[in-house]
Amino acid sequence: MKYVLVLPLAVVLMAASSFAQDRIYRCGNEYTNAVPGPDKKGCKLLDGGNVTVVQGTRVAVAGPTRAPAQSAGQRVDAAEQKSRDSDARQILESELLKTQERQLELTKEYNNGAPEKRADEMTNNHKYLDRVAALKASLARAESDIAGIRRELGRVSPTAAAK
């Protein structure tokens, strides 16, 4: 009869001890129960709570469907580089034209620092002065953009223009 009471009590005690965890240390992104040695710096003892770490799965990538990545040391053949340079030059030239057109419009609107007043600016001079300052800043930005695009055009190989 005594064994009937002792056996469930022993099972409960073993189950309770299996739920208890040892001390848990966090070393960077790693969690461990082992006491870190002197070579592992920055390990901290976590207080309270249980830690569950689930390892992620790696996604399998099909080899033949992907194009082989070129290493940094490999060179691109001359025809492809010429094509890239030509595309870059065309993009830069179109950006230069857009920026020059925008600068022309801003110059007309700025009117040498005296743009025409709008209806809402007739009574509020501060609004007018704010718009003049914004136009002046936009003109300076457009001039800077044009200078930058011209520098980039100078860097693109001149052989791209021949295509």
Is position 128 within any domain?
yes
Is position 52 within any domain?
no
How far, in Å, CA of 10 to CA of 60, rounded? 47
CA angle 53, 54, 58 (to 5 degrees): 140
Task: Name the band, by pLDDT with cuts 50, 70 and 90, for residue 133.
Answer: very high
**Residue 99 main-chain phi, psi, to 5 deg:** -70, -40
Return the half-sphere exposure (C-beta side, CA atoms, 13 A cut-off) of residue 55: 3
| pTM exceeds cut of 0.75 | no
Question: Which has the higher per-residue pLDDT, 10 or 80?
Answer: 80
- How many domains does one find in the chain? 2
Whether 146 and 99 have beta carbons less than 8 Å apart is answered as yes
What pLDDT is stored for residue 29 in this prediction?
A: 79
One domain for residues 84 and 128: yes
Is position 72 within any domain?
no
pLDDT of 17 higher than 80: no
Is position 37 within any domain?
yes
Close Cβ partners of 86 (under 8 Å, ≥ 6 residues apart) = 160, 161, 163
Dihedral sign, Cα of residue 15, residue 19, residue 23, residue 24: positive
One domain for residues 84 and 132: yes
Q: Which residues sit opposite 24 in a β-bridge?
A: 46
One domain for residues 39 and 112: no
One domain for residues 41 and 96: no
Question: Which has the higher per-residue pLDDT, 118 or 37?
Answer: 118
CA distances from 59 to 63, 64, 115, 116, 150 (A): 12, 15, 62, 63, 45
One domain for residues 86 and 155: yes
Spatial strand order in the sheet of 24-27: 30-32, 24-27, 43-46
Is position 66 within any domain?
no
Is position 69 within any domain?
no
Highest mean pLDDT, choosing among 40-49, 60-69, 142-151: 142-151
pLDDT of 114 higher than 80: yes
Range of the domain at 30: 2-46
